[in-house]
């Protein structure tokens, strides 16, 4: 762990396992509530000095961290593939994406503008100032184990906050690597602190109940997000959360079904389907269904599963055994209720995959609302395809979920694109675009998919308080 500028070892440790091989690749400190308290103390003691540094000083540190992350892209990506399992090509992309947040918020630090507001009184002036909230507690997920860290750390530090981060128990080595970069970049002692723990519950409880923590930022499941919000409510802590998703992918009859199928196959199986913006329900107009499915199945059939360090691998392992069982349960439920199996539908154990958590890339057709996969987030390599006939009906079906993170629309009709963009109740909508994300763009969801936004200018405002000054002159 990294607390108050020092690397802390403990006699209690837990193992980190490569999900592709089942092999232990390292051991890390198993922290607990006292460690979380110590980290919060360090952050609390550091916040006064750090918040008084200039935006240019904070930006310089983040610029340096960005430079180091880019320079060490290859070694960081290899570590990520060993620990998280995604193919090396995807890991390289994520390292670059993660670095982009350090660069973006280095620049945004210098653009936290106040304003003067006219008054109805001749002798009065209003001035608005934005100041850091204070100590931030962050909890990050395992599926994007580096970019989710920088997406929280960068705006917090840019705003003048200090931070305590609890890394995902499945991917602590990636977190340690990022904090080593921050240390080398010149982040002062106590400004950024890292807790690793096998059991996240005691850490989360301290984050929610310690009055010195002024804000919690969390990426993870909706159920855990609700629990954190409930526990933090007595103190009315600032919260920002990026939670679960159940993204619809709508392909209208005027779209090119081959082009749409290529896009859908890429985003559906991104990170082996372990992404909150991954499409869960693919709605295809009945008139182009055959052409879409033909191309989609062909492309999925060419996806090779295996160890992400091997060339040509497109599908990595799932995170653990529970994830494999959840995915298979959804597939078997759908088949029992009448879905059509176009490909996959089983765990992969041959060709040296038995020791890992591999599931075949799977395509299901004729999916209906009675099936679990229609309602539950899959977080795995299973595509559920659903026919539709009417624009109003498909928009209603797409919105029929408690989630509201991402959605996708393929159409060549500008009016239809604008209508669906306005009518879909999701925070991120890709129109003929399978990658509607960037450090420069606001990322977040509606409904039970979260609160607040990350990235863009909105991202730094989540870490700032607005203060009004009224002056009589």
The 10s digit of each residue's pLDDT in 342-401 is 999 999 999 999 999 999 999 999 999 999 999 999 999 999 999 999 999 999 999 999
Phi first, then psi: what are they for 33, rounded to 5°? -55, -45
**pLDDT mean across residues, the chain:** 97
The CATH 3.40.605.10 portion of the chain extends over 2-243+449-472
User: Tell me, what's the pLDDT at 406?
Assistant: 98
Predicted confidence at residue 188, as pLDDT, reads: 98
23 catalytic, yes or no?
no
Distance CA 98, CA 65 (A): 11
102 and 154 Cβ atoms separated by less than 8 Å: yes
pLDDT for the residue 450? 96
pTM as predicted: 0.96
* Percent of the chain at pLDDT exceeding 70: 100
pLDDT in tens, 244-290: 999 999 999 999 999 999 999 999 999 999 999 999 999 999 999 99
Mean pLDDT along residues 193-202: 98
Q: How far is CA 468 from CA 126, 215, 293, in A?
A: 7, 20, 57
**Is 242 noted as a catalytic residue in this protein?**
yes
Structure confidence at residue 18 as a pLDDT band (50, 70, 90): very high
Question: Rounded mean pLDDT of 65-69?
Answer: 98
Residue with tokens 């001749």: 122
**What CA–CA distance (Å, rounded) separates 289 from 297?**
12
Among 183, 242, 391, 454, the active-site one is 242
Do residues 197 and 168 touch, judged by C-beta distance below 8 A? Answer: no
* Structural class in CATH, domain 2-243+449-472: alpha beta
Give just the sign of the alpha carbon dihedral 221, 223, 225, 228. negative
What is the bridge-based pairing of β-strands 406-410 and 403-404? unpaired
pLDDT of 473 reads 95
> Per the residue annotation, which of 83, 183, 276, 448 is the catalytic one?
276
Percent of the chain with pLDDT over 90: 100
Domain 247-438 sits in CATH 3.40.309.10:
yes
Instruction: Quote the pLDDT of residue 39.
Output: 98
* The pLDDT of residue 349: 96
pLDDT at residue 112, rounded to an integer? 97
Write down the residue that tokens 């060419």 correspond to.
Answer: 302
Q: Note the pLDDT of residue 131.
A: 98
Residue ranges of the chain assigned to CATH 3.40.309.10:
247-438
């Amino acid at each position: 762990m990294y607390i108050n500028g020092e690397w802390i070892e403990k006699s209690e440790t837990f193992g980190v396992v490569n999900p592709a091989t089942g092999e232990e690749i390292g051991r890390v400190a198993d922290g607990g509530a006292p460690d979380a308290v110590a980290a919060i103390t360090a952050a609390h003691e550091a916040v006064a000095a750090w918040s008084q540094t200039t935006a240019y000083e904070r930006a310089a540190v983040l610029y340096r961290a960005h430079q180091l992350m880019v320079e060490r892209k290859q070694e960081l990506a290899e570590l990520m593939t060993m620990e998280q399992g995604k193919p090396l090509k995807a890991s390289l992309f994520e390292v670059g994406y993660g670095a982009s947040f350090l660069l973006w918020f280095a620049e945004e630090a210098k653009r936290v503008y106040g304003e003067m507001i006219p008054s109805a009184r001749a002798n009065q002036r209003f001035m608005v100032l934005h100041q850091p909230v204070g100590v931030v507690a962050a909890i990050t997920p395992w599926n994007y184990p580096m970019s989710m860290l920088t997406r929280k750390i960068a705006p917090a530090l840019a705003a003048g906050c200090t931070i305590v981060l609890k890394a995902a128990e499945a991917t602590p080595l990636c977190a340690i690597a990022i904090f080593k970069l921050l240390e080398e970049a010149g982040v002062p002692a106590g400004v950024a602190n890292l807790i690793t723990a096998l059991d996240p519950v005691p850490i989360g409880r301290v984050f929610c109940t310690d009055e010195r923590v002024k804000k919690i930022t969390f990426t993870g499941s909706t159920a855990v997000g609700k629990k954190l919000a409930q526990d933090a409510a007595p103190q009315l802590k600032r919260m920002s959360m990026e939670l679960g998703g159940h993204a619809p992918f709508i392909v209208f009859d005027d779209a090119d079904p081959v082009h749409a199928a290529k896009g859908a196959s890429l985003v559906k199986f991104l990170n082996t389907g372990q992404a909150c913006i991954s499409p869960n329900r693919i709605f295809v107009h009945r008139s182009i269904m055959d052409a879409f499915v033909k191309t989609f199945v062909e492309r999925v059939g060419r996806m090779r599963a295996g160890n992400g360090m091997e060339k040509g691998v497109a599908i990595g392992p799932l995170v653990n055994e529970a994830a494999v069982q959840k995915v298979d349960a959804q597939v078997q439920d759908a088949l029992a209720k009448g879905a059509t199996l176009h490909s996959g539908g089983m765990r992969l154990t041959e060709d040296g995959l038995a020791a890992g958590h591999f599931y075949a890339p799977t395509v299901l057709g004729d999916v209906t609302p009675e099936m679990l996969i229609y309602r539950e987030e899959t977080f795995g390599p299973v595509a559920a395809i659903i026919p539709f006939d009417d624009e109003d009906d498909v928009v209603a079906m797409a919105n029929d979920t408690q989630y509201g993170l991402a959605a996708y629309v393929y159409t060549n009709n500008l009016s239809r694109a604008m209508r669906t963009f306005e009518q879909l109740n999701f925070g991120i909508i890709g129109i003929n675009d399978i990658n509607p994300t960037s450090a420069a763009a606001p990322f977040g969801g509606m409904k039970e998919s979260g609160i607040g936004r990350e990235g863009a200018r909105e991202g730094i405002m989540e870490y700032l308080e607005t203060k009004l000054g009224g002056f009589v002159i």
